[in-house]
Amino acid sequence: MTNRIRDIRKAKGLTLADLAAACDPPTTAQTIGRLETGMRQLSVGWLNRIAAALGVPPASLMRAEAAAPARIVAELGTSGPEALTAPREALLPSELAGQDGPAPMVLSITASVGEYRPGDLLWLRPLDPDAAQSAINRDCLVPKPGGRFAFGRLIDRRGSLVGLLPPGAGQKQVVIDNPAWIAVATMLVRAL
């Protein structure tokens, strides 16, 4: 078994020092580096500490040798594609979601609506309605009475009322009173 600490740390945009400081209790960047490379044994205690600091389930830090993961081999910037010095593992959206809070939701797109195309999968993170201000001007899915949903750009939050602007042209604002939750779009997966 090999560990995936470096891949998950880089996918979350953390440095060795960031991860070391996020551990409880904090540790050093050198220790994290040794654990990543296998120079130091990764015990169950370290596995749990690092997983908690990364916000992922401990099992996601380990990978069987036989499994061939998808690899990130280059990065596309303003000057074109650049090869990485060492390829790193690409993580699934569910692995990036972490273990804190409710599980992510996925909205399957079946027709061209606004900027979305058939076959798109829109990953959403549920929020408490009291935290809705952080989702203003972002696409959200909101439950309506009777088991229905509203989807669109969150444009207003006043008291218990939530206002969404649907993505289709010429559609009117939808207002929902006191929704149980609001799920904000975090990732779009599109097959080419």
Give the pLDDT means over successive 10-residue stretches in the chain (192 positions). 83 90 94 91 91 87 68 80 80 62 83 89 85 87 89 86 87 89 89 80
> What integer pLDDT is reported at residue 75 of this predicted model?
80
What is the Rg, in whole angstroms, of the alpha carbon atoms belonging to the chain? 20
CATH for the stretch 2-93: 1.10.260.40
> What integer pLDDT is reported at residue 59 of this predicted model?
83
Q: What's the whole-model pTM score?
A: 0.59
The answer to whether the beta carbons of residues 183 and 191 sit under 8 Å apart is no
Round to whole Å and give the CA distance between 27 and 13.
Answer: 18
Where are the domain boundaries for CATH 2.10.109.10 in the chain? 105-189
How many residues in total does the chain contain? 192
- Provide the terminal-to-terminal Cα distance of the chain, rounded to the nearest Å: 33
Return the DSSP state at 175.
E
> What integer pLDDT is reported at residue 86 of this predicted model?
81
> What integer pLDDT is reported at residue 191 of this predicted model?
81
Strand partners, 32: none
> What integer pLDDT is reported at residue 157 of this predicted model?
80
> What integer pLDDT is reported at residue 96 of this predicted model?
62
> What integer pLDDT is reported at residue 45 of this predicted model?
92
CATH for the stretch 105-189: 2.10.109.10
| Nearest of 57, 39, 36 to residue 48 by alpha carbon | 57
The answer to whether the beta carbons of residues 133 and 157 sit under 8 Å apart is yes
Where are the domain boundaries for CATH 1.10.260.40 in the chain? 2-93
